Amino acid sequence: MAKIAGERWNYYKKNMVPVENQYMGNVDWYKTPQAANEASTMATGDVYKQGTPLAQQTEASMAKAGISPASGASIMKRADVADNLASTAGNADTKARMGTQNEYLKGLQNIVAMGNNQAGTAMGGLSSVANSALNQSEANAEYNRLSSTAPASAAGTAVSLGLGYGQHLSGG
């Protein structure tokens, strides 16, 4: 029995310890600023990639409604859209950074489970952390898009009614 136990121990040290050490190194990486920055960059980059066309749609919607780009309504709407985009990107950044910390903690739990000869749970990669953050922020972005186009339509209608009323008064 002692000989078998010794062989198993030697096998474990030779074959399993290097794999465990590599895994622990991967887990430790998730607590680095580099991991958080990479996840954040992926998530916020996607927010801006999707948000920029929405901002352009808002501009086009206001132009179509006859709202002057120099008007107060247009300036305020652009500021609202920019604020909503920045807020969405900020949320994605925070969620991505928290996601890397969650993956680190999940990895630590796996290491403890390995030490107890138990199965661990799967860890996600940075892209899955960033995608999760982005998906949670996309609902906010869609809400912001809808809330930014509705006032532009209402303002356009008000401008049209005002112009029509002004023409009516002037006899036009």
**Mean pLDDT computed over 124-146:** 60
Verdict on whether the full-model pTM lies above 0.85: no
Q: What pLDDT shows up at residue 36?
A: 92
Q: Which tens digit of pLDDT belongs to each residue from 23-77?
A: 888 889 999 999 999 999 988 988 888 888 888 888 898 889 998 888 988 899 8
- Structural domain range at position 159: 2-170
- Cβ-Cβ contacts under 8 Å for 126 (sequence gap 6 or more): 35, 38, 39, 42, 100
**Mean pLDDT computed over 127-147:** 60
Q: What pLDDT shows up at residue 147?
A: 57
Q: What pLDDT shows up at residue 161?
A: 38
Helix (H), strand (E) at residue 69? none
Domains in the chain, number: 1
Calpha distance 74→85 (Å, rounded)? 16
| Average pLDDT of the chain, as a whole number | 76
Lowest-pLDDT range of 77-81, 116-120, 124-128, 153-157: 153-157
Q: What pLDDT shows up at residue 155?
A: 43
Q: Which of 88, 76, 74 has its CA nearest to residue 145?
A: 88
